Amino acid sequence: MLGTIRKESGGTRGASLPHPDETRETFTWDIAEAMLDGLPDGALNIAHEAVDRHVAAGQGAQVAIRWLGKGDAREEITYADLAERTSRFANVLKAHGLERGDSVFGLMGRVPELYVTALGTLKAGLIFTPLFSAFGPEPIRTRMEIGSAKALVTTETLYRRKIAKWCAEIPTLKLVLIVGDEAPEGCVALAPAMAEASPDFETARTMPEDRALIHFTSGTTGKPKGAVHVHKAVMYHAISGRYALELTPGTIYWCTADPGWVTGTSYGIISPLVNRVTMIVDEAEFDLDRWYTTVEQEKVEVWYSAPTAIRMMMRAGDDATKPYDFSGLRFLASVGEPLNPEAVVWSNRVFGKPFHDNWWQTETGGIMIANLAAADVRPGSMGKPMPGIKAGIVERTSTGVKELADGDIGELALRPGWPSMMRTYLDEQARYDKCFVDGWYLSGDLAMRDKDGYYWFVGRADDLIKSSGHLVGPFEVESALIEHEAVAEAGVIGVPDETAGEVIKAFVTLKPGYTPDEELERSIRGHARKKLGPAVAPREIVFRNTLPKTRSGKIMRRLLKARELGLPEGDISTLETDET
Ligand code: ATP
Ligand code: MG
């Protein structure tokens, strides 16, 4: 294990909340509720909490979104602007006959209209679903069908390329809004419609249990599921942003997640705005120099990213970080995949702060297990359960589940009851019901808790490898591999073997300047054997230019495995990179 990173103090700076360590046992949801305003008669609306109440409290002039367009375009949107634009948008929906509970889809990159669409839809009491703009026509269509889309907001290019052909065949779809001044036949241009609409709208009095968002899972393990979330989730977005991301009013915050998946909404829109931060939104995709420049010039204080991006930074090396001043950063966090210990140590060295890993899922709606600012970081660990969250490690038995002891590997489970938990999977009630056994929500991930209460990710239940009587999690092997100087990324699977049951096979990508040859393969295998022991080290290493990943940046081990075994590839609608 790479040593602990100790913290002397810090955490939830300037916050009026109890310290997370003190409140872990005594926590009640009243603490989260007190962070919100609410609406008359027990109503609660995410858009009101994220935008309008700040304006009512005299903070309308604060910048909510500082948008950096591709190239040098820039736009600053204040809370007052956002309140007005979302009201206009809500009026546009109403003018076209959309009603409370209808479903609105957003398909676009990180443009200001995306934020207006998401929040304006919620303000009007409708349900918002984001989609990845990089999706092909088929994944878009199936999701719109499953979600009974009534309206779609997209760009002209995306519409012509991906939607136009089949759009008339979606029976529920009434309205296609196109970002900009003009729209193709049958669609409505958003800019003029907004200009004509009234800037006043009375926020819908949604109730806490009313549906607000539908998020499709990443599809890493199979067909994506549509997780249904309600307005009450905002309670959890408020408090988890404070505790796990250190978001306080005025913080300059940058979440790099794609808006097409849950992180892009929970922590790319709602949580930061509820906590009245100034969000940096960068329209461009990952580009090392641009990212480092943005952190420096925008004076980013809190940065929330993902292992795939962090590994790209590591791949470029320490020297690439040297020209930049990162002293404005005060908290860094990562989600989406296991964060290799090497990445934690590296970031601590080059940024002066480590990336803090946290764990959650589309289903949980918010961060469940986290390394908090105030706590020591054990590189490679996901941290501890958040205040208000009760987690356990369990084993399924023939009659239910049994809790396991510290140090044992089992399924990571949570006691339901936090506000942002999904309420069902769309049209798949049975699949949803199967997630709950003996009062636990079973996550499908395997983990271990150490004696000090830190949780360690082992792998997806489906990805676990059984080799010569050992249970091996791919994460452990991948982390050892990327400690080798030549390795940038690694994906590890088990392949059937007559004597061992399964043997471990690794697919790796290399850092620039290394040649994929036999000598290097031997060197990497030797390194892995030394770190992991012969039983757990990969038997074979294959060099690849890229690893197959979902659009949310997750390595698709099931695809590596299916191809290895010549099995059907299954649902690959979310597949992004894929070259051999
Ligand atoms: P699907 O459920 O469709 O297979 P998915 O599980 O990848 O896709 P998401 O909900 O986007 O869809 O991702 C949640 C999963 O991502 C978690 O269950 C876990 O496997 C992984 N994950 C997220 N954060 C972490 C983390 N910090 N460490 C390890 N794994 C993580
Ligand atoms: Mg999942």
349, amino acid identity:
R
Q: Over the chain, what is the mean pLDDT?
A: 94
Residue nearest to atom 23 of ligand 1 (CA): 336
- Residue 532 covered by a domain: yes
* pLDDT of 15 over the 70 cut: no
Least confident stretch, 8-12, 145-149, 170-174, 486-490: 8-12
Q: What is the mean pLDDT of residues 350-379?
A: 96
User: Above pLDDT 90, what percent of the chain?
Assistant: 84
User: Is residue 22 assigned to a domain?
Assistant: no
pLDDT band at 533 (very low <50, low <70, confident <90, very high): confident
Mean pLDDT over 442-460 rounds to 96
User: pLDDT: is 135 or 250 the higher one?
Assistant: 250
Q: Residue 225: pLDDT above 60?
A: yes
Query: From residue 337, how far is each of 10, 23, 293, 309, 524 by CA, in Å?
Result: 26, 28, 25, 11, 23
Atom of ligand 1 nearest to the CA of 475: 29
Distance (Å) from CA 223 to ligand 2 centroid: 10
Q: Has residue 88 been placed in a domain?
A: no
pLDDT over 70 at 1, yes or no: no
Q: Which atom of ligand 1 is nearest to the CA of 263?
A: 11
Residue 306 has pLDDT above 80, yes or no: yes
Q: How far is the CA of 222 from the centre of ligand 2 (A)?
A: 9
Ligand nearest to the CA of 460: 1
Only one residue has tokens 């006959």, namely 97
Measured by CA distance, the residue closest to atom 31 of ligand 1 is 337
Whole-number pLDDT of residue 552: 84
pLDDT (0 to 100) of residue 106: 98
Q: Are 314 and 344 in contact (CB under 8 A)?
A: no
pLDDT at 11: 67
How confident is the model over 373-391, as a mean pLDDT? 95
Whether the per-residue pLDDT at 534 is higher than 70: the answer is yes
Mean pLDDT of 36-53: 98
Task: Specify if 149 maps to a domain.
Answer: no
| Contacts within 8 Å (CB) and 24+ apart, 290-298 | 291/256, 292/320, 292/321, 292/323, 292/324, 292/326, 293/324, 294/68, 294/254, 295/254, 295/324, 295/326, 295/328, 295/329, 296/324, 296/325, 296/326, 296/328, 298/66, 298/68, 298/252, 298/254
* CA of 550, nearest ligand number: 1
Q: Closest ligand 1 atom, CA of 221? A: 4
Residue 500 belongs to some domain of the structure: yes
Is residue 571 in a domain?
A: yes
Would 513 be classed as within a structural domain?
A: yes
Q: Which residue lies with its CA nearest to atom 3 of ligand 1?
A: 219
Residue 265 has pLDDT above 70, yes or no: yes
* Sign of the Cα pseudo-torsion (547, 552, 558, 563, in order): negative
For ligand 1, the distance from its centroid to the CA atom of residue 288, given in whole angstroms, is 25
Please choose from 262, 360, 361 the residue to mutate so as to test ligand 1's pocket, defined by most ligand atoms within 8 A of CB. 361
- pLDDT, residue 352, reads 95
For residue 287, report the distance from its CA to the centre of ligand 2, in Å. Answer: 28
* Residue 536 clears pLDDT 90, i.e. is over it: no
Q: Of 94-98, 138-142, 517-521, where does mean pLDDT reach its minimum? A: 138-142
Choice between 80 and 470, residue whose per-residue pLDDT is larger: 80
Q: How far apart are CA 315 and CA 363, in angstroms?
A: 32
Q: Residue 579 has what pLDDT?
A: 59
Give ipTM to 2 decimals: 0.99
C-alpha 32/C-alpha 367 separation (Å) is: 14
SS (H, E, C) 228-278: EEECCHHHHHHHHHHHHHCCCCCCEEEECCCCCCHHHHHHHHHHHHHCCCE
Q: Which atom of ligand 1 is nearest to the CA of 224?
A: 3
Q: Helices 307-316 and 341-351 meet at what angle, rounded to 10?
A: 60
Ligand 2 mean position, distance from CA 265 (Å):
17
- Supply the pLDDT for residue 134: 85
pLDDT at 501: 86
Q: 87: which 2 tokens?
A: 């009201």
- Count of domains forming the chain: 1
Ligand 1 pocket residues where CB is under 6 Å: 217-222, 224, 261, 335-339, 357-359, 361-362, 382, 443, 445, 457, 460, 552, 554
Which residue did the predictor score with more confidence, 416 or 12?
416
Nearest ligand to the CA atom of 422? 1
Pocket test for ligand 1, best of 310, 360, 368, 571 (most atoms within 8 A of CB): 360
Here the CATH number for the domain that contains residue 530 is 3.30.300.30
Return the half-sphere exposure (C-beta side, CA atoms, 13 A cut-off) of residue 90. 24
Cβ atoms of residues 68 and 74 within 8 Å: yes
Output the pLDDT for position 2: 65
Task: Give the length of the chain.
Answer: 580
Å from CA of 96 to ligand 1 middle:
37
Say whether pLDDT at 35 is over 70.
yes
Ligand 2 center to 151 CA (angstroms): 27
Query: Ligand 1 centre and the CA of 225: distance in Å?
Result: 13
Ligand 1, atom 29, residue with closest C-alpha: 338
Does 158 fall in a domain? Answer: no
- Nearest listed ligand to the Cα of residue 306: 1
Residues 61-91: tens digit of each pLDDT: 999 999 999 988 999 999 999 999 999 999 9
Q: What pLDDT shows up at residue 7? A: 82
Residues within 5 A (CB) of ion ligand 2 = 217
Q: Which domain holds residue 509?
A: 464-575
Where is pLDDT greater, at 371 or 467?
371
